A and B are shown apart, each in its own frame.
Chain A
Amino acid sequence: MSVLALEYPPINHLFDWPAFLFEGTPLAVNKTVLIYLAATAATMLLFGLAGRPRQTLVPSGVQHVAESGLNFIEDSVVMQTIGPEGRKFMPFLTSLFFFVLFSNITEVIPGIQFPATSRMAVPMLLALLVWVIFNVVGIRSQGFFGYLKNSLFPPGVPKALYVLVTPIELVSTFVVRPFSLAIRLWANMVAGHLLLVTFAVLSAALWGATYIGAALTFPMLIAMTGFEILVSVLQAFIFTILTAVYIGGSMHPEH
């Protein structure tokens, strides 16, 4: 695709990867799938190595990374949003955080350069999973009608306002939440990937035309690469903490 005399790849070519295994079947394997499998393997490897019986008193290496991750999830996510009873969700939230993080961070890893979460499939799937979990938790904690009542008629709101609040709560809690959760992650990673590709294509084109021309775009590309590392971590954190907020809200309607 030629944009302002610049050969820019079509957008779908930046995100749609051809299958190289089981092509044409529902189990087709492409680059995106490989990244998901690698994210799973990386997390399992990290915690498998960190959980070995031979532990040191002062953690280092993978042990330090895994333990810092757990402490981060526990202190900054679970204790801040759910409380001590939220510790039972630690395995789920930790899996979620590291899976999304490793799927995001491939955006800046040389040779991969693609965030798997810029494809809608897994963000949507995870968001639906979160939707099911927080609803089940709400029903188990408060009972079906109690959960519905507390969700649609928030306590402390003047009764006259329920006419306005209840439809909003119905839509926001049961309809919008999974979409907002999925689209936030997906759109951020799509935008990040487009930014990186744009600056990379621009730098390459300008470098070929005039070396001076790339002096502005190339530093921007480096800066954007650093920025996207931050975005990758931040989006994983946001996805995880929103999940915890939804679960905490279902467990404690007064919050």
Chain B
Amino acid sequence: MRPTILSPGARPGGHRNRATVRRLAAAAGLVVAVTLASTSSAWAAGETVGGCVLEKVAEAKTEHGSLDAVKALPSEELGELEDELEGCIESPNPIFPALDEIIWGGLAFLILFAFMWWKGFPAVKRAMDARSEKIRADLDAADTAKADAMRTKTEYEAQLADAKAAAAAIVDEARAQADQLRQDLQARAEADIAEQRARAAADVESSRRQAIDDLRTEVAAIAVGAAERVVGASLDADVHRSLIDGYIDEVAGAGSNGDGS
């Protein structure tokens, strides 16, 4: 939306306008002030001739009662008055210093010097020196603080390096311990495996022996039964068993030899 005078969007433009007006007013004021300041030198004149004459005549009139009385003065007094009136036209010697100005000017400078010597100069100088001293002290303190900070930083850096070295040593030690532990566990595991293998082999061997024994017993019983049926004779069971065992052993021995085991 195009900003209008009443819309908020027009505010910056309004500020600019007001600022421009203010600047123009200030410039105009400055011009007027400079004009007045400069031209007022034209009025910087002191006593005028007319004013001086009027003043002298008024003084004479007051002193003698009326202008007629003044006119009627003896020639000597009238001459003095004329000299005074001519003095209004004569320029005073500009180089000759006026006594009242010497007295007042000297007194003013004396008072000023006394004040400056007693209070003005020492107070300001003291304040300046105090500030210089404070700034110097602050700078010294800042330098000291900086040196302390640098020292602390160096110490911290050294401590940090020590801590890093210690941490590295701890890590190395932990790593070595872990390796050792791993090797121990591995060895133990291998030993367990070997033991279990041996135990398994023993079990296998025991089972094999048990199986052989069972087989032997079974075969013996079958053989006895078969022999009985074949010979028909009644044999003592224990004799039969011993005969059969002996036969099986022979067979087993022959079998083992035949397997090469």
**Interface of A toward B, CB cutoff 8 Å:** 9-19, 22, 25-33, 36-37, 39-40, 43-44, 47-48, 50-52, 55, 57, 59, 63, 66-67, 70-71, 90-92, 94-95, 98-99, 108, 110-111, 113-114, 116, 119-122, 124-126, 129, 190, 193, 196-197, 199-201, 203-204, 218, 221-222, 225
User: Is there an interface contact between A197 and B42, defined as CB atoms closer than 8 Å?
Assistant: yes
A51 touching B102 in the complex, CB below 8 Å, given contacts A113-B44, A222-B34:
no
B46 to chain A, nearest CB (A): 4
**Interface of B toward A, CB cutoff 8 Å:** 33-49, 51, 91-92, 94-106, 108-109, 111-113, 115-117, 119-128, 130-131, 134-135
What residue of chain A has the Cβ atom nearest to residue B125's Cβ? Answer: A70
User: Is there an interface contact between A47 and B99, defined as CB atoms closer than 8 Å?
Assistant: no
In the complex the two chains form, what is the Cα distance from A221 to B36 in whole Å? 11
Q: Which residues of B contact A44 (CB under 8 A)?
A: 111-112, 115-116, 120
Tell me which of B48, B103, B116, B131 has the highest count of chain A C-beta atoms within 10 A of its own C-beta: B116
A120 touching B46 in the complex, CB below 8 Å, given contacts A95-B109, A110-B36:
no
Q: Which residues of B contact A39 (CB under 8 A)?
A: 108, 112
User: Is there an interface contact between A111 and B40, defined as CB atoms closer than 8 Å?
Assistant: yes
Q: Which residues of A contact B34 (CB under 8 A)?
A: 222, 225
What residue of chain A has the Cβ atom nearest to residue B102's Cβ? Answer: A121
**B interface majority secondary structure:** helix
Q: Which residues of A contact B111 (CB under 8 A)?
A: 40, 44
22 residue pairs bridging A and B, Cβ less than 8 Å apart: A12-B46, A12-B91, A17-B46, A31-B46, A32-B98, A43-B116, A44-B120, A47-B124, A50-B120, A51-B120, A51-B123, A52-B123, A57-B135, A91-B113, A91-B116, A94-B116, A119-B101, A125-B105, A193-B44, A196-B41, A222-B38, A225-B38
What residue of chain B has the Cβ atom nearest to residue A14's Cβ? Answer: B45
In the complex the two chains form, what is the Cα distance from A50 to B98 in whole Å? 34
Tell me which of A36, A116, A204 has the highest count of chain B C-beta atoms within 10 A of its own C-beta: A36
User: Is there an interface contact between B44 and A33, defined as CB atoms closer than 8 Å?
Assistant: no
B58 to chain A, nearest CB (A): 13
**A interface majority secondary structure:** helix
Tell me which of B42, B43, B91 has the highest count of chain A C-beta atoms within 10 A of its own C-beta: B42
User: Is there an interface contact between A29 and B106, defined as CB atoms closer than 8 Å?
Assistant: no
A185 to chain B, nearest CB (A): 13
A83 to chain B, nearest CB (A): 18
User: Is there an interface contact between A40 and B112, defined as CB atoms closer than 8 Å?
Assistant: yes
Partner of A48, one of B40, B47, B119: B119
A124 to chain B, nearest CB (A): 5
User: Is there an interface contact between B46 and A122, defined as CB atoms closer than 8 Å?
Assistant: no
User: Is there an interface contact between B105 and A122, defined as CB atoms closer than 8 Å?
Assistant: yes
User: Is there an interface contact between B124 and A70, defined as CB atoms closer than 8 Å?
Assistant: yes
What residue of chain B has the Cβ atom nearest to residue A202's Cβ? Answer: B42
In the complex the two chains form, what is the Cα distance from A217 to B45 in whole Å? 20
Partner of B46, one of A18, A22, A95, A111: A18
User: Is there an interface contact between A16 and B102, defined as CB atoms closer than 8 Å?
Assistant: no
Partner of B112, one of A27, A43, A120, A196: A43
B202 to chain A, nearest CB (A): 98
User: Is there an interface contact between A113 and B124, defined as CB atoms closer than 8 Å?
Assistant: no
What residue of chain A has the Cβ atom nearest to residue B51's Cβ? Answer: A18
User: Is there an interface contact between A57 and B131, defined as CB atoms closer than 8 Å?
Assistant: yes
